Each structure stands twice: as C-alpha cells, then as structure tokens.
C-alpha cells in the first residue's frame, strides 16, 4: 500500500471501530459504569466479605471485545504487604523477601496476624522459613482450593447466573502491596517523548500495587513466589492513551485473539497491553493519530516479532520481568515469527483474517448511512443497559452476586415502569404490539438478541 492508501484504510478502520462500539466517549462511559457496578457490589458486601472488588482488564478499561471473560480483582481488605512493614494490630502484615526470586516476584512471610475475627486465608510452609524464622506463605491459597478452575493467578468462577454482558468471570485474589521502589524507578526512567505526561507519572508513582498468587514458571521455588503487579496503574495508563492508541490496543487484541493465539497461546491480552504501552512511549505524538493506525499496527507487530526472536518482552511497569520467560516453546515461537512476518507484508489485507471486523467494514462501505444510524442506536442502547444494570444492582438483596441476572421479569420488578418502558421501546420498538398479543417469551428473546447485536466486535 502507498502512504495515501494506508491513511485511507486507517481512517476506514477507525470509522468502523467508532461505529461498532469504540468511540472514545463510549469507551470512557463503559469504564465509568463498570466502576459503578464494582462500587455498588463493594457497598453491598461491606460487612459480609473480607474482599474489595474492582473490575480490571479489558472490561474495566472499556475495551472488552464481544463476550470475553470479565476480570475481577479481589483484594483482602485486612491484609497489607510491604518491603518495610509496620505492625498494625488490626491488619495482617506481610513482608516481602526477594532473595532468589526473578524480577517482579517475591516470597512473603506473615509478620503480624490481625486481632480481628476475620478469617485469614493463609496456610504456612514449615519446610521453608525466612532468615527471621517466619514461615513462608505459599502462593496456592488453601482458602479457595478446589472451588474453581485455576488459570495463572485467576480462578475461573462459576457464578449462578448467565448474562449477555458477562460470558465468564475470572477472579484474581490478591493483597495490597505498598512497596514504592518499582514505581519510583518506572517514573524516573528516561523517555524520548511525552507519554505518559509528567502529571500522570506523578499520580501513578503514588498508587498501590498488588501481589497475586502465581510464581515464576522457571523457578525451583515457584510454589513460594508471588507476582507483583500494578493493575490499577495500568488501568490509569489505558485511560491516558489517545484515541489512536486505544484503537491500536483494540485492533491488536483482535489480531492476537483471532490470528496469533491459535498457534501461540503465550501472546495474551496482557502482552498486547504491554506492547501498546511500549509503542505509545516510544513514538512521537504526531505519529499516533487515527490516520496512522495501520502504521501503528505494523510497529506493534514488528515489536512482538522482535521480542519473540530475542525471547524477551519486558513488562512495562517492571521492565526486569520478562513476559515471555518460560512461556513460548521452540515450535510455537518459529510459527509465530513466520506468521508475523507474513502479516507485516499483507498490510491492510490483514483484516480479511478477522471475520468480525471484515464484516463490519463491509457494512460500512455498502451501507454507510445505515451503519451510522446503527452506531447511534447501539451506543444509546449500551448506555441505557449499563445504567439499568446499576439500577437493578441497587435493588438487590445483600447476596454474594456481583452482577444482576438480566431477564424480562426482573426489568419490570427492579425498574420504574416508565423507565423500563422507555428502555424497552429503544431496544424493541415492537414492544407495545407484542405485549397486546401476549408474546412475552418472543419479546424476551427478541430483546436479548437486539442487545447482543450491540456487541458485533
């Protein structure tokens, strides 16, 4: 493609992403209301649960694709881990021990147990003790053993509900981490361009971190190691990506999920996020515009290929941690590198390999006016749906259910009738006639099908 063709194709992709759910305004709106859902959940469970919940990952960032799993970070409220802990009788106090661990990982020991009656999640490994004589806490949480399928630090939950908005939920249990060394080094390191801005650097350098129960894959003592992460800091960084950088994030997620992951499972959504951060930091702002979207994608694919060739992809927040360490087999690596080389040669033709995106772009070309009307409708439906979910959640009894089950009967039960009618009329204009004809079951199926049509990407 010529530079002009690249620009036109970039604008075409940008317009398609805007229309089908990824305008900057709707991304921000989505992230805000997901935070509202988590806030309501925490209020309901304030006295019942030892955890504080937050929606993280692509859902919490507002860039979730289709029915991808929703990631929930569950933090023990009465437990704090620190490099230099101070005793507090009301808290479980943990201390880090970095001896023999890879960058981004630590062993932890219990220095002080809370005097409260809240059940603590710890069991101890008496075979291994710190130099002070404290037993280490293994990264396998006995508190949750056998209750869920484990995927890295996440527990794939089986909540008793199914919703068009949440097809699956991954719970990551964690402890607060107050160590500032990693964030201080991150904020002070040299950068060629002005991303992230200085004010953002200062804000993030003061944020908390977390330790999650998963050890380094290649460590002999991985059962004792915990991973250090800065999940809320990364969420803040995503918020400060510009429109083109967020579109790159979404587009690269599509490429990896549809094309790369089938042959190389190590290229996860988390790796995609880190690649986008590195690209954003190392490119001038003028080159990070929506008319350069294809060029940005090429840069990102080249970066992934380079990292695979060198068996090293640095974590953005803790560069010493290699995200590819122990994650890619020789065969997968070679296949992924060959495929990336091929994708870089294809240019814009890469969208043909992403059926959902290709179909949406096809509709935008052949029916632009219809596509524009759809975009306005889908954004309004999503806004009303998110507000409806929060309203329903407020009406729920104090049960351990993070999100309401969506059904026709619950709409009428939990929502003001006029608001419910306005909402249903937006989604299903045929609503009055179907009610008169007694087609309640058909109405519910049509309603759900229409709302699912807001998630074509």
Q: Do 118 and 258 fall within a single domain?
A: no
- Could you give the CA distance from residue 400 to residue 397 in angstroms, rounded to a whole number? 9
Q: Do 340 and 214 fall within a single domain?
A: no
User: Residue 143 has what pLDDT?
Assistant: 46
- Among the listed residues 140, 135, 105, 106, the one whose alpha carbon sits nearest the alpha carbon of residue 121: 140
Could you tell me how far CA 395 lies from the centroid of its own chain?
Answer: 27
Q: Do 343 and 374 fall within a single domain?
A: no
CA distances from 68 to 59, 130, 165, 382 (A): 8, 41, 9, 16
More confident residue, 202 or 5: 202
User: Residue 159 has what pLDDT?
Assistant: 45
pLDDT in tens, 47-103: 777 888 888 889 899 999 887 778 889 899 889 999 988 887 778 889 999 988 999
User: Residue 449 has what pLDDT?
Assistant: 85
The verdict on residue 188 lying in a domain is yes
Do 273 and 303 form a contact (C-beta atoms < 8 A)?
no
Exposure of 161 in the CB half-sphere (CA atoms within 13 A): 14
3-state secondary structure of 451: helix
Q: Do 305 and 444 fall within a single domain?
A: no
3-state secondary structure of 108: strand
User: Residue 85 has what pLDDT?
Assistant: 86
* Mean pLDDT, residues 304-330 taken together: 92
Q: Do 282 and 246 fall within a single domain?
A: yes
Among 174, 202, 231, the domain boundary falls at: 231
Q: Considering only 106-115, 131-140, 201-210, which range has the smallest mean pLDDT?
A: 131-140
User: Residue 348 has what pLDDT?
Assistant: 85
Q: Do 214 and 67 fall within a single domain?
A: yes
Do 193 and 281 form a contact (C-beta atoms < 8 A)?
yes
- Could you give the CA distance from residue 365 to residue 295 in angstroms, rounded to a whole number? 22
Task: Read off the CATH number of the domain in which 332 is found.
Answer: 1.10.1410.40
The verdict on residue 332 lying in a domain is yes
Report, in angstroms and rounded to the nearest whole number, the Rg of the chain calculated over CA atoms: 24
User: Residue 414 has what pLDDT?
Assistant: 54
The verdict on residue 79 lying in a domain is yes
User: Residue 127 has what pLDDT?
Assistant: 62
The verdict on residue 7 lying in a domain is no
Do 62 and 27 form a contact (C-beta atoms < 8 A)?
yes
Tokens of 313: 């992809």
Q: Do 298 and 215 fall within a single domain?
A: no
3-state secondary structure of 92: strand
Among 332, 351, 366, the domain boundary falls at: 366
pLDDT in tens, 256-289: 999 999 999 889 999 999 999 999 999 988 888 9
User: Residue 320 has what pLDDT?
Assistant: 95
* Mean pLDDT, residues 305-327 taken together: 94
Q: Do 227 and 266 fall within a single domain?
A: no
The verdict on residue 44 lying in a domain is no
Where are any strands of DSSP class E within 196-293?
Answer: 209-212, 225-229
Q: Do 162 and 98 fall within a single domain?
A: yes
Among 366, 392, 411, the domain boundary falls at: 366
Number of compact structural domains in the chain: 3
| pLDDT tier at 328, thresholds 50, 70, 90 | confident
User: Residue 436 has what pLDDT?
Assistant: 86
Q: Do 207 and 296 fall within a single domain?
A: no
Q: Do 226 and 335 fall within a single domain?
A: no
* pLDDT surpassing 50 at residue 108: yes
* pLDDT surpassing 50 at residue 435: yes
* Mean pLDDT, residues 421-425 taken together: 80
Q: Considering only 35-39, 225-229, 258-262, 342-346, which range has the smallest mean pLDDT?
A: 35-39
Q: Considering only 33-42, 166-175, 423-432, which range has the smallest mean pLDDT?
A: 166-175
- Could you give the CA distance from residue 242 to residue 287 in angstroms, rounded to a whole number? 12
* pLDDT surpassing 60 at residue 353: yes
* Interior/surface letters 411-439, b for 16+ CB within 10 angstroms, e for the rest: beebbeeeebbebbebbbeebeebeeeee
The verdict on residue 287 lying in a domain is yes
The verdict on residue 448 lying in a domain is yes
Tokens of 163: 């919703």
3-state secondary structure of 62: coil
3-state secondary structure of 363: helix
What is this structure's pTM?
A: 0.89
pLDDT in tens, 368-422: 999 999 999 999 999 888 887 777 666 654 443 444 334 444 545 555 666 677 8
- Among the listed residues 227, 189, 210, 11, the one whose alpha carbon sits nearest the alpha carbon of residue 102: 227
Enclosing domain of residue 389: 370-452
More confident residue, 151 or 323: 323
Tokens of 43: 């209020």
Range among 51-60, 291-300, 328-337, 385-394 with highest mean pLDDT value: 291-300
- Among the listed residues 105, 152, 103, 106, the one whose alpha carbon sits nearest the alpha carbon of residue 319: 103
User: Residue 296 has what pLDDT?
Assistant: 95
Do 126 and 135 form a contact (C-beta atoms < 8 A)?
yes
Q: Do 197 and 283 fall within a single domain?
A: no
Do 252 and 297 form a contact (C-beta atoms < 8 A)?
yes
Task: Read off the CATH number of the domain in which 135 is found.
Answer: 3.30.460
Do 37 and 389 form a contact (C-beta atoms < 8 A)?
yes
The verdict on residue 34 lying in a domain is no
User: Residue 416 has what pLDDT?
Assistant: 61
Task: Enumerate the H helices of 62-106 as residue ranges.
Answer: none
């Amino acid at each position: 493609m010529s530079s002009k063709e690249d620009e036109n194709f970039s604008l075409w992709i940008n317009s398609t992403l805007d229309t089908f759910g990824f305008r900057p305004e709707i991304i921000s709106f989505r992230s805000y209301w997901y935070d509202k859902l988590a806030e309501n959940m925490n209020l309901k469970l304030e006295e019942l649960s030892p955890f504080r919940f937050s929606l993280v990952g692509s859902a919490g960032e507002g860039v979730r694709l289709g029915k991808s799993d929703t990631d929930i970070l569950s933090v023990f409220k009465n437990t704090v881990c620190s490099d230099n802990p101070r005793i507090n009788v009301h808290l479980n106090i943990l201390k880090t021990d970095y001896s023999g661990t890879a960058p981004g990982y630590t062993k932890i020991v219990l220095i002080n147990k809370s005097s409260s009656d809240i059940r603590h999640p710890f069991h101890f490994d008496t075979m291994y003790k710190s130099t002070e004589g404290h037993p280490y806490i293994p990264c396998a949480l006995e508190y949750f053993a056998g209750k869920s399928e484990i995927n890295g630090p996440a527990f794939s939950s089986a909540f008793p509900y199914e919703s068009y908005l949440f097809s699956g939920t991954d719970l990551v249990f964690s402890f607060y981490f107050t160590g500032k060394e990693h964030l201080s080094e991150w904020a002070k390191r040299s950068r060629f361009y002005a991303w992230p801005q200085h004010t953002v650097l200062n804000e993030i350098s003061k944020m908390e971190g977390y330790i999650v129960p998963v050890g380094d894959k290649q460590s002999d003592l991985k059962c004792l190691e915990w991973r250090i992460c800065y999940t809320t800091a990364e969420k803040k960084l995503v918020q400060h990506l510009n429109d083109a950088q967020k579109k790159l994030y979404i587009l690269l997620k599509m490429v990896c999920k549809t094309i790369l992951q089938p042959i190389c499972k190590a290229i996860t959504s988390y790796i995609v996020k880190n690649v986008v951060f590195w690209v954003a930091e190392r490119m001038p702002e003028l080159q990070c515009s929506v008319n350069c979207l294809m060029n940005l994608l090429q840069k990102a694919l080249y970066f992934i290929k380079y990292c695979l060739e060198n068996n090293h992809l640095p974590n953005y927040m803790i560069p010493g941690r290699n995200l590819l360490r122990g994650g890619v087999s020789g065969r997968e690596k070679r296949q992924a590198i060959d495929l990336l080389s091929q994708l870089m040669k294809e240019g814009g033709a890469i969208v043909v390999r992403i059926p959902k995106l290709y179909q949406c772009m096809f509709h935008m070309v052949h029916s632009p006016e219809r596509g524009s009307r759809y975009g306005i409708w889908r954004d309004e439906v999503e806004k009303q749906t998110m507000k409806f979910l929060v309203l329903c959640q407020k009406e729920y009894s104090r049960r351990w259910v993070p999100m309401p089950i969506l059904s026709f009967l619950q709409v009428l039960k939990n929502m003001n009738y006029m608001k419910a009618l306005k909402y249903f009329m937006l989604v299903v204009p045929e609503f009055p006639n179907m009610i008169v004809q007694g087609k309640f079951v058909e109405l519910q199926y049509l309603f759900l099908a229409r709302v699912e049509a807001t998630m074509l990407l």
